[in-house]
Structure 1
């Protein structure tokens, strides 16, 4: 039996956005975004603090911001789906540079809904 060992790190970011529609933009509103990252490392054990620091380097760029004003979301609609895609790409690259692989990210903008991206093997 092969064991898959992963770390799961949950973080929170307060940020606001306004979804753009064909007829204009919605109302600016705030979310406490919940971001859960599952990753695996090349070594059997890693310090949580080190991995959290790597993840938070990306998340801190969104904290307290109006996402629509950020260069990343000037032309891309800051929906939960697009925020998840953006975070997956940024966090995945940073983790790879530090000997870890992002296997799954789950981003929630409310307690009742999430958007997930999994790495397929």
Structure 2
């Protein structure tokens, strides 16, 4: 099994709904997003996925979220902008834009809110 991972950063603000504690108040984070692709076979050039293409796909999602008030940003205008929901949103959006290759899958999205706290989204395997 091979894995290829890239990381990108962005800044955004939010306030958690249905939460009691300081995170219910307006605040922001310098997020770090890690996206991992996985597969068993490399292409003829010896690559699982081109880092450049993966970075482009992730950046297209991150650029829309960067320096935004997430509570007004769809789908977080109705969905709570928790790290867990944001990781799944990034996963779903990257999946729409990343070039698909046979035997290669989007494995996971990990989103750090702080240097020591993150949420990971990985789809269930049936």
TM-score category, normalised to shorter length: 0.7 to 0.9
Q: Unpaired segments of 5 or more residues in structure 2?
A: none
Match of 1:27 in 2: 25
Match of 2:6 in 1: 9
Deviation at 1:49, TM superposition (A): 1.7
1:20-59 alignment to 2 at 5 Å?
Answer: 20-21=17-18, 26-40=24-38, 43=43, 44-45=46-47, 46-59=49-62
CA contact (8 A) 2:13 2:69 kept: yes
Deviation at 1:40, TM superposition (A): 3.1
Deviation at 1:101, TM superposition (A): 2.1
User: RMSD between aligned alpha carbons?
Assistant: 2.1
Name the count of aligned residue pairs: 116
- CA deviation map 1:18-37 (0-9, x unaligned): 111268x8221110111111
Q: Unpaired segments of 5 or more residues in structure 1?
A: none
Pick aligned residue for 2:105 from 96, 101, 107: 101
Deviation at 1:120, TM superposition (A): 4.5
**1:72–1:120 CA distance, 2 compared to 1 (3 A):** closer
Moved more, 103-112 or 45-54: 45-54
